[in-house]
Structure 1
Amino acid sequence: MRDFRKYSVWEQSHNLVLKVYILTNKFPNDERFGLTSQIRRAATSIPTNICEGCAKISEKEFARYLGISFGSCQEVEYLIYLAKDLGYLSMEIYDTFQVEIVSIKKQLYQLIKTLNAVD
């Protein structure tokens, strides 16, 4: 069984979730059940699916869960973009999140590619 804590992409995505929670605390209260909830769920899905994938026996199954994480990254990337356009965060904060999300996506992509090459 794989230990999810040994994957740097898991650690980075976990840190992203912590930052998303801090960021969304500053969103308007009327977004609590809208954008705030959705971005938190999408962000949390990234490390959660890495963890769940680590419990799978085959490389193919693990890669499938990493693919779900990748999709959640895409979702977070858009939701951060939307929050910027709605004026909930500055361009500077947006850029910081964008760099981090792209880094996570690159790591996931490389890991998926490696796992798929094994099968």
Structure 2
Amino acid sequence: MHYDLRVWQLAMDLVVQVYAVTKQFPDSEKYGLGSQMQRAAVSVPSNIAEGAGRESNADFLRFLTISRGSLSELETQLLIAQRLNYVADVSEQLNKTKEVFMLLKGLVRKLKA
């Protein structure tokens, strides 16, 4: 099951971290960048779960690719939030995105083999 996958577990942790970060945003950004970041973060474990629930490795690979795209989007948004001084430091979240990305990469490689 998808919840047994370490990559899914870490992606879920990342969602919690992103929600904590976006709570710090000014009210004017809660429905802008904050909402966009939350959607990107939620997309990562959601697509891992949906792909794992599919009947073929090809489908799973497609959803893992979507997860990687959402992860890259989130990484960019974290950097934007930091540059706009909405949050002082996003290094913990960026480290988590890198960790999830590497696990996704490894899972893709394993499924292709």
Instruction: Determine if the TM-score, normalized by the shorter chain, exceeds 0.5.
Output: yes
Q: What is the one-letter code of the residue matched to 1:112?
A: V
* Aligned equivalent of 1:105: 101
Q: What pairs with 1:40-55 in structure 2 (closer than 5 Å)?
A: 40-55=38-53
Identity %: 35
Tell me by how many angstroms 1:22 deviates: 1.3
Tell me by how many angstroms 1:61 deviates: 0.8
Q: What is the one-letter code of the residue matched to 1:101?
A: T
Determine helix, strand or coil for the equivalent of 2:90: helix
Tell me by how many angstroms 1:35 deviates: 0.3
Whole-Å separation in 2 of the counterparts to 1:24 and 1:94: 11
What's the TM-score, normalizing by structure 2?
0.97
Where structure 2 has 5 or more consecutive residues not aligned to the other structure, the ranges are none
Q: What pairs with 1:1-119 in structure 2 (closer than 5 Å)?
A: 3-90=1-88, 93-117=89-113
Determine helix, strand or coil for the equivalent of 1:89: coil
Q: What is the one-letter code of the residue matched to 2:27?
A: N
Provide runs of 4+ in structure 1 moved above 4 Å.
none
Whole-Å separation in 2 of the counterparts to 1:63 and 1:110: 11
C-alpha RMSD of the superposition: 0.8
What's the TM-score, normalizing by structure 1?
0.92
